[in-house]
Amino acid sequence: MPPSPASPSPANRGRARRRLVALAGAALALATATPATGSVAPPDDAAAATAVAPGSNVALASAGGVVTASGSEGGGTYGWTPDKAIDGITSGPVGQHTSRWSSDASDAAWLMVELAEPTVIDHVNIYWETACAARYVLQVSHDGTSWTDATPTVSPACGALDRQTVGAQADPAAAYRFVRMQTIERTPVGNQKYGVSLWELEVWDGTEPTPRREPALVPRPALVEQGDTASAFRITPETAVVAHGAGRGTADLVAELLRPATGYALPVVDGGDDRGAIAVTVDPEAGYTVEGGPAADESYVLDVDEGGVRIVATTSHGAFNAVQTLRQLLPAWVESDVPVAADWAVPAIHVEDAPRFAYRGVMLDPARSFQTVEAIKRQIDVLSQLKLSVLHLHLADDQGWRIEITNEGRVEGDTIDYTRLVDVSGRTAMDSRGYRDEVGRTGYYTQDEYRDIVAYAAERFVTVVPEVDVPGHTNAALHAIPELNTSRSLPAPDPATGVVPWNGTGNVGYSALDERNEASYTFVRHVFRQLAEMTGGPYVHMGGDETHAMGHDRFVDFVTRAVPDIQEVTGRGVIGWNEYAAAGAGQPDDFWEGSIAQYWVGSADPLRDFVAKGGKAIVSNATGAYLDQKYTSDTPIGLSWACGGTCDADRYYDWEPTTTVPGGIDEESVLGVEAPLWSETVRGGDQLEFLLLPRAASVLETGWTAREDKDVASFMQRLGDLGPRLTVQGHGFYESPRTTWAATSVSADVDARSGATAAWPVGYVAAPGTKLAADGARIAPDVTAADGDPATRSVLTEPLTAELVCPARTLPVTFTTDAPRDALHPAGVYTATVAAAFDVDAECELVTSRGDGGRVRVDVDPGHPLPPGPTAEPGDPTVSLGSGASVEAGAWESLALTGFAPGHVELLVDGAVKFTVRALADGTFTGHVPVPAATFAGDRVFTARQGEREVSTTRVVDSDQRPLANPIDRSTLRVHDVSSEETAAEQAPATNAIDGDPDTFWHTRWSGAAQPYPHHVTLDLGAAYDVTGLQYTTRQDAANGRMAAYEVYVSADGVEWGDPVASGSFTATLAPQTVDLTGTGRYLRLVGLSSVSGNAFGGAAEIAVGGVPVRDVPVTATAVSRCLAGTAYVAVRADNDGDAPVDMTIETAHGTREVAAVAPGRAASGSFSTRSSSVVAGEAAVVVAGTRVVVPYGALSC
């Protein structure tokens, strides 16, 4: 056995306290130049000997400070009282009643601190909350009565530290006893002004002590003791990895991790001397504690000093966790897959660590838009470094089915063909458009591929939890399996096919299995049995959420039968979203034994009943854990229903699992936390990572680190230092502007072909939040959002340049990157190159403008290869759509593309862009895409286009769709009247139905009191037409507002309507539906009699009308306003320009006159008194043979 790890002092070991101390006891220096390496800055011993004693915060209540204020929000009932401003707590959970002061609702609010004694003030810190002062002035006083401005008017940044020094009209050298923040104006939040709010006001009597920079360890360990930097351990070519006990597997992992970047052999040996080695001990009897507590399955102890690295754990999982901590202590370049010339120093440190919760999960959703096996493995790689313990895979939803289920093991009488699940619904996905109109991705995991994912995760101590959502979110299953479709399943099946149509929208709550259909339970048992057999692990997830259309009683009936069925056939615990907990009401006290409820929204009362009956809770509160939400309103992808405003890593960090549930829940009832990432807007692994990181790290630290040890400021600092590591690994992430991203560079040796001029790589730079200059000479911080990507912050405040200094010459460095920063991708690794020829070996130095860099050895040989050149242009593009003689409108057909550049490719039908797909790095795309349901039958031209690169194919389309005959110019249509429209809660007026945009819609009123059917809209066609048809397109994004039964009327005058000219029922299809009809007139009325959803709402996305203009009426009409004896009149004249007599009716708002048999060349006229001295502008009409000729007249005052 190896020596026991250094046993830390028993003092301060309770889990209630965490220590981050320097064992050397020297003054501590802030690491600003090298945070990305994970190393700890050395203590400056010389500075420590001569440094002036640091100051202190004399405003603290504990230092004798006394605080008063103009008032508090809510009269203090919210707890946001002045005493919170001097309690030493400078931040707190977003939106909770925590340690901050919020003023009364006044622009003149103030906060005053009386110090224990008059003090010469070095500086004042104000930690502002979101509702900071828009403008304020800092004042000082000797007596608390007479005040002097110590600053000019200040406009601080909300949610940030604001530091001010005494000046303006005050004497910086004078001693003051009173300090006051005097507000001038408040900052509106959401267009409303609340009280001025701040976390803390500090008054310092000297320079603040500079804390030693905390190691970039995420999640934060239970106990960290930093040692003297002189005691760091350096990995060298002679270093070995020593395995003790059952540590061989972990020892191999360490060596595999370190070999590519170091280029060292790092042999692994079983047992032996630990001196100068990395030693790994896995022993169930290992003697160690974590802050005085017993060792647990995932716990470990890590010790580093100049003599080596020692990892001790009772399990391989604990040792694996220790390795993740070790890799974060090493320079970020340890993640490089090519050798680099870094200083492989591990700082002296003692770490004791164990998790708060065993369940620390992330959910990925390949159901809505597929993620490849490779993409899933990439996420397992990065998340396991952050001590993920559970990967929850959402494998089926309304939009698609992603896991192969075979017919093997079907019970007697089961006729379901389970292979249809992937054969049919494995080729469907989100149809709603993603970034740049990219359509959802299709595909599925074979059972072998799924088992490979499970095994890959298990190697990294991650448990996979599979979810198939039932009874709701089941449209993909209903679309594939006829036996699941009944008169009670939802939505109703298509009579022509016996199954529901596929649905690629993001709608929820509309689909459900029939709880009375025995096939529903046969299906559930078969599917979950195979899932459990493929997965292993302790849990399966049945969903159980958002069954709105099904109703509560039917839902309860399903769950109370399905849960025992699933438990019986799988032998696993069942997880469901928190809605399913309500099904346990009235059940026995042990009904939920072994089951888990995943809380995401709503009342927690059923959850408390759930845990009282033997269940446990996973907390995934949507406002602080749903990773599919936008970071800000400008984020190109993501949703915003759960989190508004700024939804960055700090907000996702600052919540507490036991209290975020309404009414709270005991810690013993919480199994852990999970961060779900739904894929409505996600297309591909890169976009997945953009939303996943860094907020998944926030949630995983919440699951790992003790509540009392969490600190948002510390976390954001460590996150910024973690950025270069993610960059070197090639992972995408959101470069948050709420942290400062570290930067790091490294040199690399060159094997140059003698005499050959080429761009030789001499080093690399990882600098999140930066961009490359067009000429490649500079790497600059990106602080503007006007260039198409979010503004952020880098430790680089000036552009970075570099040069290669060799014995005989100095060469300029040009930087290149294969992954430039854009709206959805961070800055990738920059390669430093020199364009030169080398004739002899040389010892050079890469020198950057920051003063760092490293040695570059140039080895010259005529046999060395040249570096890779530019990527060759792709060949001629090709396109293949569908595999049969024809393709079907509204169906997903196979698509294969070659010969494109990586990136988005537009898909067009008959010249109109419909959506995009993305070509891979090799310029290809293979998958399924939807042929738009509105595509007309016959030969259609399908085109793939990327800039000037374009290729087309003509395919026969099978379609029930036909174009609307004789379409009337949409610009001439007007809404004449409407029975109901919603313009209060949303802008859904009837005019949206004729604007040519199917993404806008008319919706009947739903705010307040909704009006019942029938609903109608009347269109003025602008002239008389022989109307031949109507085309109705329903709302595209949700079921509400879709009309079913209808009637159509045509009228000459918009008053008399007669009998309907057409009637029938629209279906739920999103494609335009054409109605043939015959009628003559200027006005058309569509009357809805019922809705597809069975509710009171009606509407339309688009209404188009077809017709042939009626022969022109041979009438010329004029109307004028006149004064006669102080009275305003409207005079109308109508000339018969034809060759036969006509009957005319002259209509105005002030009277009507009928004139019979007006001869050719003659006129009818009428003068109509308004009985007033003025008239407003209006219209008069002349009606001939049912056709109205409308003419305007002006306003007049007599």
Active-site residue set: 546
Let me know: does 927 contact 917? Beta carbons within 8 Å. yes
Helix (H, G, I), strand (E, B) or coil at 786: coil
Let me know: does 814 contact 762? Beta carbons within 8 Å. no
Measured over all CA atoms, what is the biggest interatomic distance in the chain, rounded to whole angstroms?
A: 122
Short-list 892, 1093, 1091, CA closest to 479: 892
Distance CA 189, CA 216 (A): 34
Q: Which amino acid is at 1142?
A: V
Distance CA 627, CA 394 (A): 14
Sequence-distant (≥ 6) Cβ neighbours of residue 912 within 8 angstroms:
none
Q: Locate tokens 């790091």: which residue?
A: 744
DSSP for 798-831, please give it: S-B-EEEE-SS-EEE-EEE-SS--BTTB---PEE
Helix (H) or strand (E) holding 606: helix 605-612
Q: Cα dist. 351→354, 389, 806, 939 in Å?
A: 10, 20, 42, 70
Count of beta carbons in the 10 Å neighbourhood of residue 269: 13
Q: Which two tokens stand for residue 522?
A: 């046969």
- What dihedral angle (degrees, nearest 10) is formed by the CA atoms of 230, 232, 238, 244? 140
Strand 345-346 relative to strand 1142-1148: parallel, antiparallel, unpaired?
unpaired
Angle at 246 between CA 240 and CA 252, to 5 degrees: 40
Distance CA 1187, CA 1054 (A): 11
Q: What is the 3-state secondary structure (H, E, C) of 379-396?
A: HHHHHHHCCCCEEEEEEE
Strand 268-270 relative to strand 241-245: parallel, antiparallel, unpaired?
parallel
Count of beta carbons in the 10 Å neighbourhood of residue 782: 24
Q: Cis check for the bond before 491: say yes or no (omega within 30 of 0).
A: yes
| Dihedral sign computed on CA atoms, order 558, 561, 564, 570 | negative
Distance CA 812, CA 829 (A): 19
Let me know: does 113 contact 59? Beta carbons within 8 Å. yes
Distance CA 208, CA 53 (A): 9
Q: Locate tokens 């009957």: which residue?
A: 1143
Distance CA 1182, CA 741 (A): 74
- What dihedral angle (degrees, nearest 10) is formed by the CA atoms of 395, 397, 402, 408? 90
- The alpha carbon of residue 121 and the mean position of all alpha carbons in its chain are separated, in whole angstroms, by 45
Let me know: does 701 contact 653? Beta carbons within 8 Å. yes
Distance CA 69, CA 131 (A): 17
Count of beta carbons in the 10 Å neighbourhood of residue 1122: 14
Which pairs from 413-421 meet CB under 8 Å and 24+ separation?
A: 413/522, 414/522, 414/526, 415/483, 416/481, 416/483, 416/484, 416/519, 416/522, 416/523, 416/526, 417/481, 418/481, 418/526, 418/527, 420/480, 420/481, 421/396, 421/476, 421/477, 421/480, 421/481
